[in-house]
């Protein structure tokens, strides 16, 4: 059981509108979202800081950063939801999905720009900074807006991972599971 029970419908109008906007039709709002709804202020601030809209990174690049961040932080809940909703859309096959969790940043399944993003995530998770070698790779492949977005994604999904793990959220039934 989660440490804080998720809110149940009917939701306050502003929360209901936001849930309707972000969830695919016919899919129940995520346990994470319903739990955050217990604090309308936290709910609204988290969604105001969200980075799921079209940004400087491509959808595939964004998802790679999110998947690697949540995997490295042991957040099977958020990793599994993103794999379920986005992996096929961005062309991640079974090898690439598994490599977000267990593979090295320089695995051959990744392109040079993907390797640079994975190394960025690994640097930030392991050292809370970006190493010189990683920075050199990033500035050769990405512009300032893309680099800032990637760093912000790692930070945002660090927070999401803390929430999911600290609250002991149950895995969504349709979400992917970490590879064995």
For 70-122, the pLDDT digits (tens) are: 999 999 999 999 999 999 999 999 999 999 999 999 999 999 999 999 999 99
Q: Which residue has the higher pLDDT, 47 or 108?
A: 108
174 assigned to some structural domain? no
Q: Which two tokens stand for residue 9?
A: 């419908």
Q: Do 112 and 148 fall within a single domain?
A: yes
Q: Do 69 and 158 fall within a single domain?
A: yes
**pLDDT for position 48:** 77
Mean pLDDT of 15-29: 91
**Residue 55: band (very low, low, confident or very high) from pLDDT cuts 50, 70, 90:** confident
Give how many domains the chain has, as a whole number: 2
Q: At residue 54, does pLDDT exceed 90?
A: no
Q: Do 19 and 87 fall within a single domain?
A: no
**Residue 180: band (very low, low, confident or very high) from pLDDT cuts 50, 70, 90:** confident
Pairwise CA distance, residues 26 & 19, whole Å: 12
Pairwise CA distance, residues 23 & 130, whole Å: 34
Q: Do 94 and 30 fall within a single domain?
A: no
Whichever domain contains 143, its CATH number is 1.20.1290.10
Q: Do 76 and 145 fall within a single domain?
A: yes
Nearest to 32 by CA among 85, 107, 104: 85
**pLDDT for position 34:** 96
97 vs 41, 53, 111, 135, CA distance in Å?
34, 22, 14, 25
Whether a cis peptide bond, with omega within 30° of 0, leads into 115 is: no
Domain carrying residue 43: 13-48
145 assigned to some structural domain? yes
92 assigned to some structural domain? yes
What is the average pLDDT value for the chain, to the nearest integer? 95
79 assigned to some structural domain? yes
Q: At residue 51, does pLDDT exceed 80?
A: no
Note the helical H segments in the chain. 13-22, 31-36, 40-48, 59-72, 76-86, 94-102, 112-127, 132-141, 144-166
**pLDDT for position 49:** 67
């Amino acid at each position: 059981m989660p440490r804080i029970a998720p809110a149940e419908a009917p939701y306050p109008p502003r929360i209901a509108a936001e849930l309707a906007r972000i969830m695919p039709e016919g899919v129940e709002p995520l346990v994470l979202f319903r739990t955050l709804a217990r604090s309308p202020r936290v709910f609204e601030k988290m969604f105001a800081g969200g980075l799921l809209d079209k940004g400087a990174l491509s959808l595939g690049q964004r998802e790679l950063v999110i998947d690697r961040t949540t995997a490295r932080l042991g957040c099977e809940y958020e990793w599994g939801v993103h794999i379920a909703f986005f992996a096929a859309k961005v062309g991640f096959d079974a090898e690439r999905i598994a490599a977000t969790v267990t593979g090295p940043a320089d695995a051959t399944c990744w392109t040079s720009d993907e390797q640079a993003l994975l190394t960025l995530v690994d640097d930030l998770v392991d050292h809370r900074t970006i190493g010189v070698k990683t920075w050199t790779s990033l500035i050769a492949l990405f512009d300032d807006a893309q680099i800032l977005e990637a760093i912000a994604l790692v930070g945002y999904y660090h927070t999401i991972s803390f929430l999911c793990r600290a609250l002991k959220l149950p895995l969504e039934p349709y979400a992917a599971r970490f590879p064995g």
